[in-house]
Amino acid sequence: MDIRSRPRAMGVVVDSVSPEELYEVIVGASSQDFARMQASTQRLKQMLEMFGAYDALQDIASRKEIPVEIRQQAMIQFKNVVTNHWRSRKLLSDEHRARIRERSLLFVDEEVESIAECNELVVVKLARTDFPNQWPNLIPDLIRIIDDNLKKRYVSMVDDPRDTLRLQRSLELLNGILKEFASIKMPSGLKVMAQIVEQLQDLLYGYYSTMSSNFSLVILTPQTINSQTVYDNILLAHLVYKCLVKMSTWLWNKFAKLSPEELRRSMAWVEKLFNASTSQLKALTEIRKGIMLSLLQNESVADPQSQKTLSVLTRHVKTFGKFFRRLQQLAPDRFVQFSASGDLILFYWAQVVDSTNYPAHFVADSDDSLFPVRFLVQAMVLFKESLSQFTPVRRSGVPNANVLSKDFVENAVRLLVTRFMPLNAADLQSWVEDPEEWVQLEDKENDQWEFEIRACAERVLMQICNQFPDFVVPLLVSWFVEIAPKPTVELEAIVQKEALYCAIGRCATRLKTAMDFETYVGGTFASEVRETNPSYAIIKRRIAWLLGKWVAECCTKPNDPKIWEILAFLVQDHGPGTDSVVRLTSVSALRECADVVEFDADNFAPYLATVVPHLIKIMAEADTLESKRKVDESLNIIIEQSGMRILPFMNVITEPIPQLWMSSEDDYLFKASLLVTVTKVVEAVKENSSTLGHLVVPLIRESLAPSVIVQLDTDALNLWTSALRNTVVVTSADGRDCLRDLVPDAINLLGNNFDVTGVVSIILESYFLLDAAYILEKYATDLFKAYLNALAHKALGLNAKGLIQSISLVIQLGQSTLWGEALHTSGLFPHLLKTMIAGEVDEVLLTEHIYLFSRIIMADRRMFLQLVSAASPVLNQPETVLYDFLMDQWMGKFDHMCEPRHRKLTAMGLAAFVSTARPEVLNRVPVEAFNIFTDVFGDIREAQEQAATAPQDEEPPSPTSLRRFWDLDKAPESYFRNSEGTPEYKRREALYQRDPIRSVALVPYVAECLREAENACGSANFQHILNRTDPAVLKQIQDAIARGG
Q: Cα 973 to chain center, whole Å?
A: 29
pLDDT at 381 over 60: yes
pLDDT digits (tens, 9 = 90+) for 322-352: 999 999 999 998 999 899 999 999 999 999 9
Question: What are the tens digits of pLDDT across the range 857-901?
Answer: 999 999 999 999 999 999 999 999 999 999 999 999 998 898 888
Beta bridge partners of 13: 8
pLDDT confidence tier of residue 84, bands split at 50, 70 and 90: very high
Instruction: Tell me the whole-structure pTM to 2 decimals.
Output: 0.86
Residue 963: pLDDT over 60: no
Q: Is 770 helix (H, G, I), strand (E, B) or coil?
A: helix
Distance (Å, rounded) from C-alpha 108 to C-alpha 910?
A: 85
Confidence of residue 396 (pLDDT cuts 50, 70, 90): low
Output the pLDDT for position 180: 97
| C-alpha–C-alpha distance, residues 545 and 718, integer Å | 32
Q: Is the pLDDT of residue 6 over 50?
A: no
Q: Is 12 helix (H, G, I), strand (E, B) or coil?
A: strand
Residues 593 and 567: beta-carbon distance below 8 Å? yes
- Give mean pLDDT, residues 546-559: 94
Does the structure show a pLDDT above 60 at 952?
A: no
698-706: average pLDDT:
96
Residues in the chain: 1045
One-letter amino acid for residue 669 of the chain: L
Backbone angles phi, psi at 583, to 5 degrees: -65, -45
Report the pLDDT value the prediction gives residue 400, as an integer from 0 to 100: 74
Mean pLDDT, residues 42-47 taken together: 94
* pLDDT exceeds 70 at position 111: yes
Give the pLDDT mean for 986-1002: 93
Predicted local distance difference test score (pLDDT) of residue 214 = 86
Per-residue pLDDT tens over the stretch 168-180: 999 999 999 999 9
Residue 299, pLDDT above cutoff 90:
no
pLDDT tens digits for range 417-437: 999 999 999 999 999 999 999
The pLDDT score that the predictor gives to residue 581 is 97
pLDDT at 393: 79
pLDDT at residue 955, rounded to an integer: 53
Q: DSSP H helical segments within 793-815, as ranges?
A: 799-813
Q: Rounded to an integer, what distance in angstroms lies between the CA atom of residue 569 and that of residue 111?
A: 65
Q: Which residues pair with 364 in a beta bridge?
A: 372
pLDDT, tens digit, 9 for 90 and up, residues 786-822:
999 999 987 777 789 999 999 999 999 999 999 999 9
Average pLDDT value for residue range 1023-1029: 91
Which of 191, 196, 205 lies closest to 271, judged by CA?
205
Q: Give me the chain's average pLDDT, please.
A: 92
CA–CA separation, 215 and 614 (whole Å): 63
Give me the sign of the Cα torsion angle 783, 787, 793, 798.
Answer: positive
pLDDT score at 645 = 97
Element housing 364 (H / E):
strand 363-364
Predicted local confidence at residue 7, as pLDDT = 45
Q: Which residues contact 942 (CB under 8 A, 6 or more apart)?
A: none
Strand 12-13 relative to strand 8-9, pairing: antiparallel
d(CA 178, CA 74): 27
Of the pLDDT bands very low, low, confident and very high (cuts 50, 70, 90), residue 969 is: low
Nearest-angstrom CA–CA distance, 715 and 741 = 19
pLDDT tier for residue 197 given thresholds of 50, 70 and 90: very high
Among residues 836, 816, 823, 843, the alpha carbon closest in space to that of 882 is found at: 836
* Dist. CA 625–CA 656, nearest whole Å: 15
Q: What angle do CA 11, 12, 14 make, to 5 degrees?
A: 145
**Is beta strand 12-13 parallel, antiparallel or unpaired with respect to 371-372?**
unpaired
Output DSSP code: residue 125. Answer: H
d(CA 351, CA 374): 12
Supply the Cα-derived Rg of the chain in whole angstroms.
40
CA angle 634, 638, 639 (to 5 degrees): 115
Cα–Cα distances (Å) from 596 to 194, 545, 552, 981, in that order, read 51, 16, 7, 21
Rounded mean pLDDT of 962-976? 65
Q: Give phi and psi for 52, each to the nearest 5.
A: 90, 0
Give just the sign of the alpha carbon dihedral 704, 707, 713, 719: negative
How far is C-alpha 477 from the geometric centre of its chain's CA atoms?
39
Element (H, E) at 9: strand 8-9
Q: In this model, does residue 2 exceed pLDDT 50? A: no
What contacts 131, CB < 8 A, 6 or more positions away?
Answer: 138, 139, 177, 192
Residue 1019, amino acid? S
- CB 348 within 8 Å of CB 378: yes
Position 12 pLDDT exceeds 60:
no
Q: Which amino acid is located at 903 in the chain?
A: R
Instruction: Please check the confidence at residue 1 and state whether its pLDDT lies above 70.
Output: no
SS3 141: helix
